[in-house]
């Protein structure tokens, strides 16, 4: 559950603050450490590649925007940042779908019921 929570918290930071800091990135990485021992390849790839890349790209766009004067370059970066943030809005459903086989109530209750027979 801690790995799932770490992913949710990273997305929550993006939703509430509009971006993510270096410290938040570090917290995320610490939170997902060991995921390869608990989850299948699809979940691990999502956490270590897809979600991580989106988090770091968003952080990079924000850093590049800081102090950049108004003009075409700033507009292009602001558009990339906006697209990046839109990507995050689709992720809660995806995260739930990826983790469901591992954390779903039915999965746990069925496993428990089978063990009692």
The closest of 56, 55, 48, 47 to 98, measured between CA atoms, is 47
Structure tokens at 5: 């929570």
Buried b / exposed e over 49-66, threshold 16 CB at 10 Å, is: eebbebbeebbebbeeee
pTM comes to 0.80
pLDDT at 85: 86
| d(C-alpha 53, C-alpha 11), whole Å | 13
46-to-23, 42, 75, 104 alpha-carbon distances in Å: 21, 6, 29, 18
pLDDT at 109: 43
pLDDT at 114: 46
| d(C-alpha 44, C-alpha 46), whole Å | 5
- Which residue in this structure is represented by tokens 């949710």? 8
pLDDT at 115: 47
pLDDT at 1: 87
CB 52 within 8 A of CB 43: no
pLDDT at 77: 87
pLDDT at 116: 41
Return per-residue pLDDT of the chain as tens, 117 residues: 899 999 999 999 999 998 899 999 999 999 999 999 999 999 999 999 999 999 999 998 888 888 889 999 999 988 988 888 899 999 999 999 999 999 866 544 444 444 443
Domain boundaries, the chain: 2-116
């Amino acid at each position: 559950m801690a790995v799932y929570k770490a992913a949710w918290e990273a997305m929550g930071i993006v939703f509430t603050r509009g971006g993510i800091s270096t410290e938040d990135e570090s917290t995320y990485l610490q939170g997902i450490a060991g995921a390869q021992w608990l989850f299948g390849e699809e979940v691990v790839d999502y956490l270590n590649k897809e979600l991580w890349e989106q988090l770091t790209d968003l952080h990079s766009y924000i850093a590049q925007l800081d102090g950049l004067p108004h003009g075409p370059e700033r507009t292009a970066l602001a558009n990339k940042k906006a697209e990046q943030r839109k990507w995050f809005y689709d992720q809660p459903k995806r995260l739930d779908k990826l983790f469901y086989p591992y954390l779903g109530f039915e999965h746990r209750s069925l496993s428990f019921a089978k063990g009692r027979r």
